[in-house]
Structure 1
Amino acid sequence: MIVVIGSINLDLVASVESLPCPGETVPGSAFVTAGGGKGANQALAAARAGAQVRMIGAVGNDSFASDAMRLLKEAEIDLSGVRKSTEPTGTALILVDPRGENIITVVPGANATVVPDALPDLRQGELVLLQHEIPLSTVKASLKAARQAKAISILNTAPFRAEAANFLTEADYVVANETEFDHYSGVLQLSGGDRASRMTDYVRKYQSTIIVTLGGEGALCATPETFFECPALKIEPIDTVGAGDTFCGYLAHSLSLGASLETAVQRANVAAALACLSRGAQPSIPYAKDVAGVSLANGR
């Protein structure tokens, strides 16, 4: 069982010819809404990968809530841990340009009410997947609860929040993109001139595993025993929204099955690349059968 503790949003996505600068208005060419939130995205990715998933979070008592959870329900994710809040359902305002680059503003709403007393009982062997779009006190308490229950924890450090550095090292696996890791390197005072050296310093100090995703360049992985690179699938991205969440969901499922870290990261890289080939965070998440038909070696 994978337990995802995190955010649930409704994404409001506009396609634009170019991303605006401050004070600039640009024309849009399309607009869609779709379920989102890093927690919900990762839960759906794990479910589409083949996992049994339980979602812990909150939505508002409003019209956005049902749309935000529609695909989660279709995937038969256990939503009994999703509370109704007096705050509105979280929203993300997303602009995407023709190259697939994006800018995002997130309004937390009900996600800010996911507090430590809402945490479920965890069991030994479960895998707990966390992100930074709920209160950090809840993330910290979840990591502690996972360790006490002898569950496995994966912390995705998005979005970057400097104050998370004081518990980052409690996770069994940390997944950060290159920008997030570079920021945490300064906060944690990691030594080394390049990223690989700083990752090695991190695992030496904290005896946990860190994965740094590099977008189209793949991922770097450091454990207390080894360091390796995993290439990305070569694609022409249409929309990169949700690719990182797809990576985390597929990574969690593979690790929950006992796959090696290298195998898990390779599968996650393929899934993340396929998620960039259509628009929207949740609609673009691929199914296991689609990922199984693609190899990093042959690029198709």
Structure 2
Amino acid sequence: MRLLHLGNVVVDLVLTVDALPVRGGDVLASSTTHAVGGGFNVMAAAARLGLPTQYCGVLGTGPFADQARAALRAEGIESSGPVRPDLDTGFVVALVEPSGERTFVTSPGAEATLTPDALPETTPDDLVYLSGYSLLHPTNRATVVPWLAHTPATVFFDPGPLVADIPRAALNTALTRTNWLSCNLPEARALATHQDPHDAAETLLHDLPTGAGVLVRLGAGGCLVGERGRPVRLVDGFAVEAVDLNGAGDAHAGAFLAGLAYGKDALEAAWWANAAAALAVTRRGPATGPTRAELESFLRGRERPPRE
């Protein structure tokens, strides 16, 4: 099995602040770092757990693109997409508060210019990661939506925080081709129009194709796992001291996909994913998913979810 990621790799400019500025105001950052993020976070999380991973998105030309290429190489991630000579890779400004909560401003670049020739042939053994951001950029949306209808791969869809901004037709097409839908609780509530987490998960599951599943991420509380014909189940999270929530959902996605690739059932893959996210938030930075050795060490001696 391999993971194919449709985009988007960007560079994160991470500023740690005591509080967000008021409108029209200004604050001083206590620290500033820059690292490759966006779609890279999911790929790094999966690759560190041993899942062969390929980036199918567009890379640019410039300092941000150079940083992205170096990061992909360092994680052993193949890049199969085209290169734009006239655009740099985009970037994201992330403001991190003392609680670990983060706020983003995104400036798109070459990764927002995906064309059909960049997308690979797929097989039923492939795993495809689709981000809602790919459905926000008009060029990427026009490329990805028709392609989804024909791929035989398992599609994992994370609509992201801007789910309400995705054109409804594109969102509906993505959902009809989704095998696994993963949302945090605010995203699940927005999609399902239910406040109760279990009700939201049930509604989302009902709207997905037969045989599909849904994950509703609850932060430190773990995640809900929904599969057709079974009650929605809670897989508990892990108590850790969080220092940076940036990339937690990405670590969760990468670990869940790696778990599926290793033949784990949905509950055990979610258990793996919860542990990976817990480890990720104890470290500063966007791509902080653990290695397989770190994950297995963390889980050693802990109670597994019941096997299906």
TM-score (norm 1): 0.90
In the TM superposition, what are the counterparts of 1:1-300 in structure 2 within 5 Å? Answer: 1-37=2-38, 39-134=39-134, 135-146=140-151, 150-162=152-164, 163=167, 164-167=170-173, 168-186=175-193, 194-206=196-208, 207=210, 208-226=212-230, 227-282=232-287, 284-295=288-299, 298=302
From the two aligned structures, give the one with the greater strand fraction. 1
Stretch deviating more after TM superposition (62-71 or 214-223): 62-71
Amino acid in structure 2 at the alignment position of 1:198 = A
Q: Please tell me whether the aligned partners of residues 61 and 83 of structure 2 are also in contact (alpha carbons under 8 angstroms).
A: no
Q: Using a 3 Å threshold, how does the CA distance of structure 1 residues 106 and 232 change in structure 2: closer, same or farther?
A: same
Residue 52 of structure 1 deviates from its aligned partner by 0.7
Q: Is the 8 A contact 1:12 1:94 kept in 2?
A: yes
Any conservation in 2 of the 1:6–1:111 contact (CA below 8 Å)?
yes
- Deviation digits for residues 184-243 of structure 1 (CA, Å, limit 9, x no counterpart): 113xxxxx6733123223323432211111112111111102221011111121011111
Cα distance in 1, alignment partners of residues 238 and 85 from structure 2: 40
Structure-1 separation of matches of 2:5 and 2:226: 24
- Equivalent residue of 1:130, what SS? strand
Q: Given that residues 5 and 57 in structure 1 are in contact (C-alpha distance below 8 angstroms), is that contact kept between their aligned partners in structure 2?
A: yes
Going from structure 1 to structure 2, the CA distance change for 1:193 and 1:102 (only over 3 Å counts) comes to closer
Q: Runs of at least 4 residues of structure 1 off by over 4 A?
A: 296-299
Residue type matched to 1:181 in 2? A
Q: Distance in 2 between matches of 1:178 and 1:169?
A: 21
**Cα deviation 1:257-290 (Å, max 9, x = unaligned):** 22100010000110011111111112x2211111
Deviations 1:80-139 (A, max 9, x none): 325335222110001111211111111111121013342111122111111122233334
TM-score normalized by the length of structure 2: 0.88
Matching residue's letter, 1:185: A
Overall identity of the aligned pairs, in % = 30
The answer to which of 192-201 and 235-244 deviates more is 192-201
Distance 1:202 1:7 in 2: 25
Structure 2 counterpart of 1:189: none
**Structure 1 195/296 Cα, relative in aligned 2: closer, same or farther at 3 Å?**
farther
CA contact (8 A) 1:36 1:281 kept: yes
The runs of 5 or more residues in structure 1 that have no matched partner are 187-191
| 8 Å CA contact retained: 2:93, 2:104 | yes
Classify the secondary structure of the residue corresponding to 1:60: coil
How many residue pairs match? The answer is 289
RMSD (Å), alpha carbons: 1.9
Structure 2, unmatched stretches of 5+, are: 135-139, 304-308
1:11-57 residue CA offsets vs partner (Å, 9 max, x unmatched): 111111112232221111111110111x2211111100111111111
- State the distance in 1 between where 2:64 and 2:129 align: 24
